[in-house]
Structure 1
Amino acid sequence: MQSIMQNILSVKGLSKTYDSGHQALSNINLDIRSGEIFALLGPNGAGKTTLISTICGIVRPGAGQVLVGGHDIVRDYRAARQLIGLVPQELTTDSFETVWNSVSFSRGLFGKAPRPAYIEQILRELSLWEKKDSRIMTLSGGMKRRLLIAKALSHEPELLFLDEPTAGVDVQLRQDMWALVRRLQQGGTTIILTTHYIEEAEEMADRIGVIRKGEIILVEDKAELMRKLGKKQMNLHLAQKLDALPAALAGWNLTLSADGMELVYHYEASQQGGHIAALLQALGEAGIAFSDLQTAQSSLEDIFVGLLEERRGAEVSA
């Protein structure tokens, strides 16, 4: 297994413009660490699938360089693709083939020697073992989604792309896939995940990337992103109604509710805890008592939406 500090994927200056004139990717620079789970977020049409398709050799790059495990995807494409597994959005399978034969055939496409014990392990982990002799046409949508993952893992890739892997699946299957992703990471597989379910990225990812209009606008460790960009809120339920905020508290970022029974305090997640004690002391000095308090922090979804709105605002004012 490669060191966590090494980059299994390095993208430098990658751009792609289609014949129609649409620029799908613009000067993408991205390094993916070996062994991490990286979540790529972005609205529809942002370039997520084009980026993945280019790295996987489905779409030819217009400019720039992509290295997978040190292998150039254009000059040394065979070695690069040996390291990559792709679970696409679309359910494209040979309906008349059996599950076992389909997964085994996918392994053979990469020149790998037969390894029945490994194929069995994959099918068991994905709850497909009992369906191994079933024709694909008889599988449910969730089972077909699991089959796509099995086919992508058949040749033991080091880098696995999951392009909207849980789109349209039920909650139980989504949780099963999350558990599988964790096991794959523990075994040394690097995973790049695109998803519309931001809670999925918040649950699974080590790092977050945001792409918009073909440009990477942010790459950050998830915990650091939450710390730097997350907002916190404290709600103080007052013991007695307050008609107006006292002048002594004007320096605090406080909002009084319409019924006068609640104070809301907004602050940065990166602030140290001492300011809370100072606020409570200031409330006491102002003669304001409270019966209860609650705190909450903005989610990754809040941060994601805020980033996109901020970028849109910058483009409008430019």
Structure 2
Amino acid sequence: MPSGLLALLDDIGALVKVSAASLDDVPTQVAKTTGKVSGIVIDDTAVTPKYVVGLDPARELAIIFQIAKKSLINKIVFLAPAALLLGFFAPWAIQPILMLGGAYLCFEGYEKVHSLFSHHEETPAPAEEVKPITPEELEQERITSAVRTDIILSSEIIAIAYSQVATQPLTTQIVVLLAVAVFITAAVYGFVGLIVKADDFGVHLAKEKQHPMVRNIGRGIVKFMPHFLKILGYVGTAAMLWVGFEIITHGIRVLHHLVETLEHTLASVPPLAWLAKAVACAIGGLILGFIIEKIVSLVRKLFKKK
């Protein structure tokens, strides 16, 4: 009996060592995954501040917290388990789902670029009766809309995270997915909180009671923030196109080979190689987004005729 107990303890010890060894790799996997989803993270960060524009400044952080909380719940309770189950029962579906998400990112990126350069005048819509809405209802509408957008981006983040650890032990998969969900949610919405309150901070610094140099810094922050948000929007759109097309190239060998060849050709100058690959993917994403938009428009017209 003692020998059996010792053998059992030895087995448990060996299992703990294996689990610990696999968990040692978690920070590396999280860092690797974060790099892979950087474009989506940038886009998520660029999109979210618009949902608090026009609302009570005193409620901005509370609204962002509500969006962040719902985003984290979606990642941990729904998306991560769905990725694990899909990876166990239908691993062949991971790549097509990633490519579908990549195509969506290209489509969204193209729509944003198109809206920047299209200046056509729209025919004013006939006047309609405006339904009164309370500040609380408007706030809830904004939160719902933000979460709806976030869940699409979060799905892509979790899918990419799982694809990086699909061959790892189940324990590592679970820990990495949870770590990525918590880390990215905290990073995105923490940074969004800093962005939306930066102008308030600038106004505080610009008050008369402050030192003249501090007041100048405060005024500079207030003037800079609108430009910063615009630049962040451009960067987010470019990142969306780049990441979306790069995801698709992983499922199409010819495209993947072309992108890798371009990167290897300029490998002697790493920054230039990275930039060339990013630009090529962004252009490819823009072209693909254009094609998808035309297909979507055609389908809409057909349904309208019916």
Per the shorter chain, which TM-score range?
under 0.3
Bigger relative contact order, structure 1 or 2, given CA contacts below 8 A and separation 6+?
A: 2
Question: What is the TM-score of this pair, normalised by structure 2?
Answer: 0.26
Question: What is the TM-score of this pair, normalised by structure 1?
Answer: 0.25
Bigger helix share = 2
Bigger strand share = 1
